[in-house]
Amino acid sequence: MKVSYNELQGLCRKAFLGMGFADGDASDAADMVAWMQLHELDGLEALNRGLDHVLAEQQEPARAPATIYADDDLAVLDGQSYSVLSSSSLALELGFAKARARGLAVIKIRRCHNRQLIMGYLARIAGRGMNVTAFWRNGQRPLIEQVVGFRANGQVPEIRVYAINQVPVENAHNDGVTLILANHVELLPDMRSAYDYELLACHRESALLASRERAMLDGITIDDAVWNKLKHLAARILVESTEASRSGAGPEVNDND
């Protein structure tokens, strides 16, 4: 099925509210998913894969990241195993504040999942004139790394996903994401490593802009089953109708005048 960007964003927002997200988190999470889908990066599929986890974590009282360490240009946060949909926006805002003050900031969010979805918020930070790059590892053997870099005021990133064939000895499970923010210096991924690697995916800015253009013209393709799941979640915020509420809200039910 085809939907519009605004429609996707709107339904996601309502679905996140239905899941129990606070208003600001629901809007951010919806923007993150819709941004991915707009650029043909399968945001809905990423959400769908982690949906049970996201639903479960909404039962927890506090879902913002907890600060483990912070100084003027570095912070380490504990994502507490929540989705980046809940935990990344304020971590990135923290990095933004530090980079504005110090020129460059590094933020590490430990223990988070759904990391693909962080891209939408990186776009937002970049839109405010900040160079920003995110790095994370997806698998251990083969070791898969992903780098997403936006230039300041860029609408789309350069993305590289690659497998490292020579796995280091120290290869502990890493479910974090490292964010580097720089006021003045571009931090785009550029594959120049001497290591033996296999490029698994390469999304260039021009291709992502073309994807967006296509989606704006033809609509965004989505999976009907996921769409219906979101509609179901969105319905949780709706209030049952009564005769009194129906009659108070607008014109008569019959308007033959």
Interacting residue ranges for another protein, rule: CB under 8 A? 1-7, 22-25, 27-28, 63-65, 67, 89-90, 93-94, 96-97, 100-101, 127-128, 216-219, 235-242, 244-246, 248-257
Spatial contact of 153 and 83, defined as CB atoms under 8 Å apart: no
- From CA 227, how far away is CA 34, in angstroms rounded? 12
| Minimum CB distance to another protein, residue 141 (Å) | 35
Beta bridge partners of 67: 77
| Closest CB to another protein among residues 166, 242 | 242
Q: Which residue's CB is nearer to another protein, number 204 or number 236? A: 236
CB of 244 to another protein, least distance (A): 8
Closer residue to another protein (CB): 129 or 139: 129
CB of 144 to another protein, least distance (A): 30
- Choose between 28 and 145: whose C-beta lies nearer to another protein: 28
Nearest residue (CB) to another protein, 142 versus 219: 219
CB contact at 8 A, 117 and 36: yes
In the complex, the smallest distance separating the C-beta of residue 9 from another protein, rounded to whole angstroms, is: 8
Instruction: Note whether 44 and 2 are within 8 A (CB).
Output: no
Choice between 71 and 170, CB closer to another protein = 71
Q: How far is the CB of 27 from another protein (least distance, A)?
A: 6
Half-sphere exposure of 29 (CA within 13 A, CB side): 29
50 phi-psi bin (left φ>0, alpha ψ -120 to 50, beta other): alpha
Burial of 130 (0-12, 13-18, 19+ CB in 10 A): buried
Q: Give the phi and the psi of residue 250 in degrees, each rounded to 5.
A: -175, -155
CB of 138 vs another protein, minimal distance in Å: 27
Rounded alpha-carbon distances, angstroms, from residue 65 to 5, 29, 85, 89, 187: 29, 15, 11, 10, 25
- Judged by beta carbon, residue 226 or residue 237, the one nearer another protein is 237
> Nearest approach, Cβ of 87 to another protein (angstroms)?
9
Given a contact cutoff of 8 angstroms between Cβ atoms, the answer to whether 233 and 52 are in contact is no
